[in-house]
A and B are shown apart, each in its own frame.
Chain A
Amino acid sequence: MNGDRPLVAVLDYGIGNLRSAQKALERVGADARLTADPGLIADAAGVVLPGVGHFGTCMDQLRATGLEQPAFDVIESGRPFLGICVGMQMLFEASEEAPGVPGMGVMPGTVRLLPDGIVRPQMQWNRLDVQRPSCPLLAGLTDGAWMYFVHSYAPDTDPELVAATCDYPTPITAVTERGRLWATQFHPEKSGDAGKRLAQNFLAAVRADQCRR
């Protein structure tokens, strides 16, 4: 294993743009692989679950490609794991977008439609209101960093697990943290320098975890 460029598996389960997440991790020094190979995922020092589109479609695809169990295994092992956008939502128990389709259920709560009376999707840059400044993913980003959001749904979860929110126009879950299982509703890979910092923070957590093992 190459300690200088930790292997980060970006789960490729056949949905839209996954390549940007891979490139964003490469840019900050990861050996980022877009992969559906369970062996490679098992060897990875960190795993990223991107996601765009429909919750039900993404869950179906994750299961059809056989990648749900490898993802569970990584989370169970405590290795750093990052869900992005629908990849965040998939960690929860269910979504109003696809009633009856179970999520992975590794985070408590349900993904709910954004409130009525606002433009849906939220397709814009928004500022983070950091709830948990100690979250390592948010190092250097605690002063209202701007991130790019594209979503119509967001997780409704235990406030203790929410590391940051954004205002749209009520507080929306933007970052969750449970041990080394992190997730962002926004797209760090599309959020310019602030997103780059978050990717660096994730990679730092991957390296720290490698040292621990």
Chain B
Amino acid sequence: MKTVRVIPCLDVDDGRVVKGVNFVGLRDAGDPVELAAAYDRQGADEIVFLDITASAHNRDTIIELARHTAAEVFIPFTIGGGIRSVDDARALLRAGADKVSVNSAAVARPELVREIAGEFGTQCVVVAVDAKSNGAGADGSTTWNVYVKGGREDTGIDALDWVRQVADLGAGEILLTSMDADGTKAGFDLELTRAVVDAVEIPVVASGGVGTLQHLVDGALIANADAVLAASIFHFGEHTIADAKRALLDAGVAVRPPTA
């Protein structure tokens, strides 16, 4: 049986959660560990932390986050952002992270995916892919390019070629964000997501654009994503993870049932 995972994503800057988080009953709404524990209680299937810290020389803060999370949160969690080497990955995994997510460093040097997978296994290597539509080509079909630097820089690499390449190099999962949909609250780019799901055999996490619970359902049912990731609809208390699980179950999508 395939069950779809629901994954809240927390952006972390220098050890603190950025973007407003509006939960009832949190002692410290900026503490990523407390937030992750709250999502765990709601029935989140995994947690993704995205480290957006600008300075490259405070890896200790994010490693400390992995240590604290591993001691208090007993569901899988991924840490992405700033991982440039096997040493960076090792420090996070040894501290208790289950997976590391690589993005621009893998674009710069795809062998990094093979190196991390070779040392720690494919299951712990997530390749985050930020893709943006090139519009319809001459034959009418859409293509997408891989972007880096938060969607500002076009690498010129075809997104479908890229996901196939990283899957071959040993990626265990693709975290796919549509740069067109991200922040719009208009739903996932279902065409892109479906194309990536069909291009690789490894799991694909859909990300970018979720504004309603129906968007999560669409990601699972229409795009066939293995997991759906969202941030703001959960952070602002609009919906709990349990709401999302119930919406998916009502639509006939198999999920681990909500716990709250």
- Looking at the complex, which one of B75, B93, B97 makes contact with A148 (CB distance below 8 Å)? B75
B121 interfacial by beta-carbon distance below 8 Å: yes
List of B residues within 8 angstroms of A189 by Cβ: 74
A19 and B75 contacting across the interface, CB-CB below 8 Å:
no
A20-B96, A190-B98 given as contacts; is B173 within 8 A of A123 (CB)?
A: yes
Q: Which residue of B lies closest to A14 (CB)?
A: B94
Of A15, A27, A53, the most chain B CB neighbours within 10 A belong to A53
The answer to whether A52 has its CB under 8 Å from any CB of chain B is: yes
CB distance from B39 to the nearest CB of A (A): 11
Within 184-213 of A, Cβ neighbours of B (below 8 Å) are at: 187, 189-193, 195-196
Closest 10 CB pairs of A and B: A53-B121, A125-B256, A16-B120, A16-B93, A19-B96, A150-B123, A146-B256, A190-B76, A123-B203, A23-B71
> A119, B121: Cβ atoms under 8 Å?
no
B122 CB contacts on chain A under 8 angstroms = 53, 121, 152
Known: A20-B74, A23-B96, A196-B74. 10 other contacts (CB 8 A): A17-B98, A119-B226, A124-B45, A126-B3, A146-B256, A148-B45, A148-B75, A152-B123, A189-B74, A191-B75
Decide yes or no whether A72 CB sits under 8 A from chain B: no
By DSSP majority rule, is chain B's interface helix, strand, loop, or mixed?
loop
Interface residues of B (CB under 8 A from A): 1-5, 40, 45, 67, 70-71, 74-76, 93-98, 118-124, 172-173, 201-203, 226-227, 256-257, 259
B6 to A: closest C-beta gap in Å = 10
Among B3, B4, B74, B122, the most chain A Cβ lie within 10 Å of the Cβ of B74
Give the chain B neighbours of A57 by CB distance below 8 A: 118-119, 121
CA distance A138 to B144 in the complex (A): 48
**Interface residue from B1, B76, B202, B226 paired with A168 (Cβ < 8 Å):** B1
A-B contact count (CB 8 A): 110
Which of B1, B5, B45, B257 is within 8 Å of A167, CB to CB? Answer: B1
Contacts of B75 in A (CB 8 A): 148, 190-192
In the complex, the answer to whether A124 meets B226 with C-beta atoms within 8 Å is: yes
Alpha-carbon distance between A19 and B256 when the two chains are bound, in angstroms: 25
Out of B2, B74, B124, which one reaches A17, CB within 8 Å? B124
Contact with B along A86-118 (1 / 0, CB 8 A): 100000000000000000000000000000001
Q: Is A33 an interface residue (CB 8 A)?
A: no
With A15-B120, A150-B123 in contact, is A119–B94 under 8 Å at CB?
no
Q: A123-B173, A148-B76 are in contact. Are A52 and B96 (CB under 8 A)?
A: no
Chain A residues near B3: list those with CB within 8 A.
Answer: 124-126
Q: Does A5 contact B (CB under 8 A)?
A: no
CA distance A57 to B96 in the complex (A): 19
A132 an interface residue at 8 Å Cβ cutoff? no
- A193 B259 Cβ-Cβ under 8 A: yes
Q: Which of A17-55 contact B (CB under 8 A)?
A: 17-20, 23-24, 27, 52-54
Given contacts A19-B96, A124-B226, A193-B259, contact A119 B2 (CB under 8 A): yes
For the complex, is A120 an interface residue (Cβ under 8 Å from B)?
yes
Q: Assess whether A16 is in contact with B201, with CB atoms less than 8 Å apart.
A: no
CB contact between B94 and one of A19, A24, A191 (< 8 Å): that residue: A19
B168 nearest CB across to chain A (Å): 14
Q: How far is the CA of A20 from the CA of B3 in the complex (A)?
A: 23
